[in-house]
Amino acid sequence: MASKYFRDLGKALSHTKTDKRMDILRRLQDAGSISEAARRAGVSYKAAWQAIDILSNLAGTPLVEKVVGGSGGGGAQLTAAGKELIKASAELELAKSQLLKKSPSASATEPITQGMLGLQTTMRNQFPATVTGIAKKAGSVRVTLTTKGASVFHARITSASAELFELHIGQKVMVLFKATAVQIMHSAVDASKNTVPGVVIRKSRGGQSGELNLLVEPGVTLVGFANPLSSFNISDEAWAQIDETAVVLAMTHE
């Protein structure tokens, strides 16, 4: 009989590369305590809670519940949905392993390509990059990202997210941001934002919306918007500016 949780839990499983998140859930099942699960997973208590909250949001149902009383003063345990997610995750990993054994060529596929195939998002700007710098500052982390063509972007994320994703130099990621977060300009004017040069290759019909497609490098085209009063023609040089906080990172299997 199909599980009553199956449909919603599938959303959480589609994100199970979510590095530490499933690991934390498994450790919680064994430890019966979020603080102990965090310690065993090597993350902070705050990061452990963030992992649980994100998975619960994706599943659309609580995965963890508090336990009151006991010799330790209480703790936490998985709900029925949480236990089912653990089971489904194990079955999924087994299926992947069996598939790779049957088709060795699948394991040779670029990790970033596999991640792209499973990624569905409304964000129109998305492309692969490599983490080339990590700088911690005042509770946040500034991540430097370099594309295959050497374009450089920066993303600002929380320390907890960096910890959960086990962010490291050389890591392959997908970079994502909305088209509405991209300002197309004639010159670079704000040094505090991501600023990359490119060439206009497409314009919205009629040009009224100000939507432009900017070729930054072979394989990387950005969609953004220019001020309606600005005049851009095909082949014009332009600059794309994106706030660092608008850049989202998606992790892929390595």
Rounded average pLDDT over 216-221? 89
pLDDT tier, 142 (very low <50, low <70, confident <90, very high otherwise): very high
Longest pairwise C-alpha distance within the chain: 72
Structural domain total, the chain: 2
Q: Is residue 116 part of a domain?
A: no
Q: Are residues 154 and 216 in the same domain?
A: yes
Q: Is residue 236 part of a domain?
A: yes
Say whether pTM exceeds 0.85.
no
CB 209 within 8 A of CB 226: no
**Tell me: the pLDDT tens digits for 34-62?**
999 999 999 998 888 888 887 887 777 88
Per the model's pLDDT, the better-predicted residue between 232 and 103 turns out to be: 232
CB 192 within 8 A of CB 72: no
pLDDT of the residue at 245: 94
pLDDT of the residue at 137: 86
Q: Are residues 98 and 211 in the same domain?
A: no
Domain range holding 207?
121-254
Q: Is residue 16 part of a domain?
A: yes
Q: Are residues 125 and 203 in the same domain?
A: yes
Per the model's pLDDT, the better-predicted residue between 108 and 155 turns out to be: 155
CATH number for the domain spanning 188: value is 2.40.50.100
Among 27-31, 115-119, 215-219, the range of highest mean pLDDT: 27-31
Q: Which residues contact 66 (CB under 8 A, 6 or more apart)?
A: 74, 75, 76
Q: Is residue 112 part of a domain?
A: no
Of 80, 107, 134, the residue that ends a domain is 107
Q: Are residues 74 and 196 in the same domain?
A: no
Report the phi/psi class of residue 166: left, alpha or beta, with left for phi > 0 and alpha for psi in -120 to 50: left
Q: Is residue 43 part of a domain?
A: yes
> What DSSP line would sit under 33-66, residue for residue?
-HHHHHHHHT--HHHHHHHHHHHHHHHTS--EEE
Q: Is residue 177 part of a domain?
A: yes
Report the alpha-carbon distance of residue 184 to residue 227 in Å, rounded. 8
Q: Is the pLDDT of residue 132 over 80?
A: yes
Q: Are residues 75 and 153 in the same domain?
A: no
User: Structure tokens of 209?
Assistant: 């919306």
CATH number for the domain spanning 91: value is 1.10.10.10
Q: What are the residues facing 130 on neighbouring strands?
A: 146, 172
Rounded average pLDDT over 248-253? 78
Task: Look over the chain and give the mean of its residue pLDDT values, rounded to a whole number.
Answer: 82
Q: Is the pLDDT of residue 88 over 90?
A: no
Q: Are residues 92 and 165 in the same domain?
A: no
Q: Is residue 186 part of a domain?
A: yes
Q: Is the pLDDT of residue 7 over 50?
A: no
Of 107, 132, 156, the residue that ends a domain is 107
Q: Is residue 1 part of a domain?
A: no
